[in-house]
Structure 1
Amino acid sequence: MQVTVTTLSDQIFTLDVSEDLELENFKALCEFEIGIPAKEIAFVWNGRPLHDDKRTLKSYGISNGDMVLLQHMRGSQGQGQTTSQQPAASPGVPQIDFGSINIPGAQGGGASAQPGPSGRPQAPDDPRFIRELLLNSPHELALLKERNPPLAEALLSGNVEKFEEVFRQQQKERMEKERDRIRLINADPFDPGVQKQIAEEIRMKNVESNMESAIEYAPESFGQVVMLYIDCTVNGHHVKAFVDSGAQMTIMSQACAERCGIMRLVDHRWAGVAKGVGTQRIIGRVHLGQIQIGKDFLQSSFSILEDQPMDMLLGLDMLKRHQCSIDLKRNMLVIGTTGTETRFLNESELPEHARLNFNQPMSPKSQEQDDRMLAEAMKKSQDEAGKPGTSGAKPSNQNSSASSSGQNPSASNSYPEEIIQRLMSNGFSRDNVIRELNASNGNADQALAALFAKSFQLP
């Protein structure tokens, strides 16, 4: 019969075996296939661990076409060992758990518990512990804002209960997703519903692979693109105009028109609605006005919009009338009718509403509010720790954003299985856990913060 074996790292292979094959011999075949010692292999079938190495596959109920999950249990001395085979404790000798002793200064030893505000040790998956890690890592906090806005908003609110609620909910959803994946592995592969889920899994893996390739070979595609603005003058008033060759007409905001003193020229008979990404009401039109760009005075018409964030937008009507060219190589706007060249503004020279953060506008008021919320949250965290200027989570001097491509892949073998499983218990895949441990040089606390920061918002 054929038995399919899958691992937590998504390795899949099929073995032709006899139904009378004992489990220990089945482990030996798997050792030959993937190189993991047989004594460190454990199997799970239909959610049930297989312990007795002397039992046959048939006695466990495994039949042709079934799939079993192989787990690598590092440091294990065989799963088939029964209680009676364990070395008995000497009478009168206390059983001491040396694994619970924390060694000061140990690097990469694991996500050790940190003392909480009440003096109790905090578990590595404690929301308060995660909160302190993120608050003490500006880089991870920036990633969290980008990839998981709900959790970032709860973190910056300063409300610990709100953060715990969002944290627990997302952790639950990740765990359910991982359980669904395990059920999918053990389900009938020919079921239409399973086929649909398998297709979605394959699609998402292709998406992740595509994103990893983009990060590796085209990292500039994740950068921020500065929009094209130029300096100009309208009726003696300085205006920063947005050059948009995709706009049909040149527009101006009502506030800018009032500031430039041309509202008296607005023809309200041309009122209407402007449609694009959204809709805005057009108050009217200024049929002829002058725009000074450099030493040139150019004629243009303006449609006045009631609620427009940018002062002025130079549309295709004006650009074509004066035969303008957008020279991105030299970062210049060339006016064809006069030969005048004017440079596009740098990011620091842009108006506030044009300084975008991943396509989300950030006004000065909201930026100030965001900074204030972050300062209050950090202060509250420090007060809870009882040590001003410090917190329970010690920030690492190493940059957690270091790419795992520069790390030695064999380094994953040096991480204790207990640490990997503990990080995976938060709903993260084994590959992601090992990748972040490599990036943080084995610092489990730092890897845990990076995993949460890089977790995408769940639907």
Structure 2
Amino acid sequence: MKIAVATAAGVIHNIEVDSQIELENLKALIESETEIPPADQILSYHGQELTDPKKTLEQYGVIENDMLLLTKKPSQIIPRDGAPEIELMRQQILNEPQISGRLLQNQPELFNAAFNGPAQFAALFRQMDQRSRQQINIHNADPLNIEGQRRIEEEIRMQNVEKNWQTALERIPQFFARVVMLYIDIEVNGHPIKAFVDSGAQSTIMSPQCAEKCGLMRLIDQRYEGLAIGAGTAKIVGRVHYIEAEIHAGNLLLECSFLIMEGSEDVLFGLDMLMCHQACIDLKRKALIINDVAIPFLAEHELPERARMRVQDNNLQNANSNATSTNTQAESSATSSTTVIPPVSSNSSPPPASQSQYPEEHIMTLTSMGIPRDEAIRLLDATNGNVDAAASLFFSLST
């Protein structure tokens, strides 16, 4: 069966094991994956530490696709100044990314001292501890001091935050691990592609570079040239109306239609493609289901280089930075809640809504489809007066 082992740094190791494997043998297997000696491994399952080396995974209740949390025991190094508890704290900072991340955010001076050696860390720690005791004494002398009350309130709040964080780490360690984006292997005109599956994108897109490699440049309809506006902007070169993509994993041929857009993934399967083929993103099976065929999502080491996420620190600043960088990647900025604006000819200004250079019956044909008159004229401007192309453009933007 397959299980996942998540480290404190957020790295997930997918391991194939037998349900009858004993804990001591599992730790030996984990050592080959993480280079952490079994004696230094602390394995937890649903918040409970696994301690009996002779118990099997089945006896511990671990089943297919379960996740174990792996932490490393801190090194027991006693410095010469006789302060083993302070050195133990320093080792925890060095070895536990969660602790070092919070310390970097809240007390960067102490964080830097931890990496500068035990003597400097111990001296600074004692200095800060003495300062804290002085503040406590001042508060005890005057319990109604406003500043002291605020400090106590903040300390209580941080204790609650810390307790909440510990609960989350024990109960739902998956949320501290990296999330691998969903990719599948496809082939277009004999060219292998790793396609990004994104149900949050309105349209299915392909980059001009990928279109050139696949020999599709001759099929691009430049009447669909425009601008994609979302969290950012990107130029739409045109559309390839029909092409077949081959998926070897399920021996499928998918009928596809691509917007050719700059700054995007090689191929991004958007909501239009998923709805067209009535696809199901099955996260339990880790596969995209089309026509009852399971197309497995790629493992992290199989992803394109740019799609591999960096190990996330658990301090708030880095978490926010990672979320921002994920949302501002080219594929998301140009396709999430995308609005496509066809360009207006730069040679002349468009005529007023009440007047038009196009026959009135052409405009009426579009308005009878529910298209506002002003929008109908804009679409005719973008398609050089071609009614069918204007209607097709409108409905492609509406899907």
Report the TM-score range of the alignment, normalised by the length of the smaller protein: 0.3 to 0.5
Higher relative contact order (CA 8 A, sep 6+): 1
